[in-house]
Amino acid sequence: MNRTLATTYPDARCELDFDDPFQLLVVTVLSAQTTDRRVNAVRPALFAAYPDPAAMAAADREALETLLGPLGFFRAKTEALLKLSAALVERFDGQVPARLDDLVTLPGVGRKTANVVLGNAFDVPGITVDTHFGRLVRRFGWTEETDPVKVEHAIGALFPKRDWTMLSHRVIWHGRRRCHAKKPACGACPLARWCPSFGEGPTDPEVAEALVKTQGPA
């Protein structure tokens, strides 16, 4: 199934834009309860104004809120970025740490965000258990666990560590493009022959193909 996903989504990657580990950490925190596309739209102005943790920690709150306004929950997200940036400056000399145990001590950073940063900014393998990933691995019958940490460990035991980051991207892309929560495109799914949940969505190829998205959510 992983090999088939690799063939189906050869361009699978993190859909958040970033230039360095700090940017990736920030945009991943911002992506909660909004879409990657919206975060990517505010990213250039955000980092033009605040290019590093020291600058962001010293940001004027109202100015930062204005930049984050299009994302929704902008006051909470402003608070999160101010605390996160201050912690990076005070405890890590303004550098994003490259260890899971350090990353999860930062305000607003859990294992999911930490694994995104490790896998995509530092090439340290990690499994990103977002809502798509958790939903799909249960549909696939790979695990029955619902707790994200337990899902992470269960799936990690099934695949070589070197595959973890790309596996995460491929499963998430599949969830965004074909294996939708409410109406999966079963009849247009390359994993159909192995999937125990085949039939949860339309099995007619033409009907299913109409459900397939060419990109992630707007």
Give the CATH number of the domain where residue 165 resides.
Answer: 1.10.1670.10
Compute φ and ψ for 92, nearest 5 degrees: -130, 25
Asked if residue 95 belongs to a domain, the reply is: yes
Low-confidence ranges of the chain (pLDDT < 70): 216-218
Using one digit for the tens of pLDDT, what is the confidence trace for 65-83? 999 999 989 999 999 999 9
Question: Is the same domain home to 63 and 95?
Answer: yes
Domain boundary among 121, 143, 167: 121
Structure tokens at 35: 């879409």
Question: Is the same domain home to 71 and 101?
Answer: yes
Which one of 130, 150, 161, 213 is the catalytic residue?
Answer: 130
Active site residue 17: no
Half-sphere exposure in the Cβ direction for 88 (13 Å, CA)? 26
Asked if residue 157 belongs to a domain, the reply is: yes
* CA pair distance 66, 15, nearest whole angstrom: 24
pLDDT at 100: 96
Q: Say if CB 94 and CB 53 are below 8 A apart.
A: yes
Question: Is the same domain home to 43 and 85?
Answer: yes
Domain boundary among 68, 91, 121: 121
DSSP H or E stretch at residue 51 = none
Structure tokens at 144: 């029955």
* CA pair distance 178, 195, nearest whole angstrom: 13
Domain ranges, residue 148: 127-209
Asked if residue 14 belongs to a domain, the reply is: no
Structure tokens at 29: 């925190």
Global pTM exceeds 0.85: yes
pLDDT at 217: 61
Question: Is the same domain home to 109 and 134?
Answer: no
Question: Is the same domain home to 32 and 103?
Answer: yes
Which one of 11, 60, 83, 112 is the catalytic residue?
Answer: 112
pLDDT at 214: 84
Active site residue 112: yes
Tell me which DSSP letter residue 141 carries: T
Q: Say if CB 121 and CB 20 are below 8 A apart.
A: yes
